[in-house]
Structure 1
Amino acid sequence: MKKTDEEVVQVLQELTEFVNDRVKGYEHAANETKNPGHISFYRELASQSRKFADELNKEISTFGGNPETDTTIKGKFYRQWMDLKATLTGKDENAIINSNLYGEEWAQKAYDDALASAALPQGLQQIVERQKQASLQACDQLKKMKDS
């Protein structure tokens, strides 16, 4: 694998870990919430995130890398903390929404970091930007849910 290909793979693998965190976070939220509308929304976002991870993993393979199936260490600790918090708060809807907003903020940072990398060719930048915009839309929807 060429040095530039290795850089592309590294950037995409790091981003995919955050996308995998997004999958786990929304699956977790769908299981924790009591609101049927929220369950549907969280499942939709988990499905969207799986598609994003598949798309990124396809590109990783194209550049000679191994698909990324893991999540970030930070994400693992955060989900454990949220489990504990849910036990203490009784799975409060606002707490679930806030944890999803926090996760989306981290996803935005991961997308920004990937886009700031000089390693990504134009076509990959477009894929990452499209996914970032979808994450922003999720953030907006979560904020509306929080305000209602």
Structure 2
Amino acid sequence: MNNNQKAVDVLQELNQFVNDRIEGYKHAAKLTKDPAHQSYYNDLVNQSTKFSNEINSTISSLGGSTETGTTAKGKIYRGWMDVKNTVTGSDEEAVIESNIYGEEWAQKAYNDALDHKGELPPNVVQMVEKQKNASMATCERLRQMKHAAD
């Protein structure tokens, strides 16, 4: 497998997780009752959409097919969030905790992509690292929101 194909494969898989992130924050924006949280989640939808577009543009430049799907695990998790929020009454802390879990899952996806650092073009590594750092900052802010909600 040539390096371009490896980069395409890694980015297609990563983009499924980024697409899960989009769907997860859309879902959270609908569930939250806090207008500030809703605004933040919508900002994260926009950020994630930008990330997905950036990844798909890179995939295309490497000769691959863009990725618009999500993971099966993400679909199951969003369904579980619905059930959990029905039981808890869309409790703000539960919504935030679900987002933290999702963001930690995104971190794993970015780390998995970076496990192939030696096989990826430098511009791809730089893009993935930049997105991972943004995800880490999001995770930290969500933890602060959780502590404020306690």
Q: Structure 2 length as normaliser, TM-score?
A: 0.96
- Structure 1 runs of 4+ with >6 Å offset: none
Once residues 41 and 18 of structure 2 are traced to their aligned partners in structure 1, the CA distance between those partners, rounded to angstroms, is 14
Q: Are 2:58 and 1:63 equivalent residues in the alignment?
A: no
User: Does residue 146 in structure 1 map to residue 146 in structure 2?
Assistant: yes
Structure 1: where are the runs of 5+ without partners?
A: none
> Which residue of structure 2 aligns with residue 76 of structure 1?
75
Post-superposition offset of 1:4: 2.0
Taking the aligned partners of 2:119 and 2:58, their CA distance within structure 1 comes to 13
Q: Deviations over 1:51-104 (max 9, x none)?
A: 000000000001111110000111010000001111111101011000000000
RMSD of the alignment, in Å?
A: 0.8
- Percent identity over paired residues: 55
- Report deviation, 1:3: 2.5
C-alpha displacement of 1:134? 0.4
Match of 1:26 in 2: 25
Q: Distance in 1 between matches of 2:46 and 2:125?
A: 22
Contact persistence 2:4–2:120 (CA under 8 A): no
Counterparts of 2:65 and 2:144, CA distance in 1:
38
Three-state SS of the structure 1 residue aligned to 2:119 is coil
Deviations 1:33-54 (A, max 9, x none): 0000000000000100000000
Aligned residue in 2 for 1:119: 119
TM-score, normalized by length of structure 1? 0.97
What are structure 2's unaligned runs of at least 5 residues? none
How many Å separate the matches in 2 of 1:34 and 1:26?
14
